[in-house]
Structure 1
């Protein structure tokens, strides 16, 4: 019953979830050539971009679509060139910071402020220590700073912390796990699709649905 309602009312969201699960299950197989894998990996986030855009939620909805579309391009590029993928994903993160800055929470508890500050400080530090002796360590640390700022802004925005805030946290964890398996401390590329992808996609899914839900409630108020 729930699945039927999801298909009928949110087909783009259902399609995104289905393709993402298929990628998680089959991306390590040799059934799909490299070029098609690039397209396949981009599809889940591209469908989330369409899902956000067709909700007609004004400027903030358009920014959300841009976040997801840019992330989709980064996902595709990650199959070819990690530096280019990181550069494109950085643009998605800048768009996310812009969206959350436009939707600041009016009142923040001290604990919420402290967590936001902690994210900005600790995420780049953890990124730095996960990549000892790796070329481009400083660049990745800067990227970690941007991730921390994005998560802090998400956590202090007016959107649901249980969805958007939690989604941003999952995104942070996925990127830190990716750094760890790419660096010398724990080299294991097989964990990319089995661990990083579900954390990453779940985070983006929570962000997309949480922002859409928040914008719709604000529009109906």
Structure 2
């Protein structure tokens, strides 16, 4: 059932993947950089929002679907804005994290093992601490508090942990690589190679995992 759902909407997912791939491999191309590159970057997650809009059943899970669409639209807007102004892009992502937290809190998991509770707490606390360690900037740590709140609530929600929770963790790691560019720790070429694949892969896992769960096509794990 889940595979069939992906096949039925594959034009939007494939278009999203094509945009993400083009941005990753062609962003340094003189012909592609600038406006075209920014548009491809924004379209990557923007098309995921369209996928969600078409796939979530509006009669049963209308508000959850709307919240997820808003989260992805904030992400797409942040992707574009951060190319022009780092602070504006961060503010848009922080707003998206707040909406995502509302979505996850609305969908609590019935039972949690002690280890999963500890992992959620670790994400909440470690995300801003590591972000500050990497960047040395208080404003980055403040943003990362929203990021950690999103990741912790995603892991604590009823959505599949090894899709949605893992996707949120990939988002956190991607941002850590961004923050490493601002501080004294030199990670060489790793940020350039991994930031976009980790971020975009995380967004895909979050979007498809939640949609399939809301449609009853993905069991809670």
- TM-score > 0.5 by shorter chain: yes
Q: How does 1:48-63 map to 2 (within 5 A)?
A: 48-57=48-57, 58-63=62-67
Pair 1:104–1:62, CA change in 2 (3 A): same
Q: 3-state SS of the aligned residue for 1:80?
A: coil
TM-score (norm 1): 0.89
TM-score (norm 2): 0.89
Partner of 1:212: 211
Name the CA distance, whole Å, in 1 between partners of 2:182 and 2:196.
14
| Per-residue Cα deviation, 1:68-117 (whole angstroms, up to 9, x for no partner) | 11100000011111110000011111111010011010111111111111
Shift of 1:9: 3.5
Name the CA distance, whole Å, in 2 between partners of 1:43 and 1:130.
29
Partner of 1:65: 69
Shift of 1:171: 0.4
Name the CA distance, whole Å, in 1 between partners of 2:143 and 2:167.
18
Pair 1:130–1:59, CA change in 2 (3 A): same
Partner of 1:171: 171
Q: Of 122, 126, 133, which residue of structure 2 is paired with 1:122? A: 126
Contact preservation (8 Å) 2:134, 2:180: yes
Name the CA distance, whole Å, in 2 between partners of 1:152 and 1:192.
23
Partner of 1:89: 93
Name the CA distance, whole Å, in 1 between partners of 2:206 and 2:101.
12
Partner of 2:22: 22
Name the CA distance, whole Å, in 2 between partners of 1:4 and 1:54.
14
Partner of 1:106: 110
Partner of 2:193: 194
Name the CA distance, whole Å, in 2 between partners of 1:33 and 1:151.
31
Shift of 1:185: 2.1
Name the CA distance, whole Å, in 2 between partners of 1:218 and 1:158.
14
Unaligned runs of 5+ in 1: none
Contact preservation (8 Å) 1:96, 1:150: yes
Contact preservation (8 Å) 2:56, 2:214: no
Unaligned runs of 5+ in 2: none
Q: 3-state SS of the aligned residue for 1:114?
A: helix
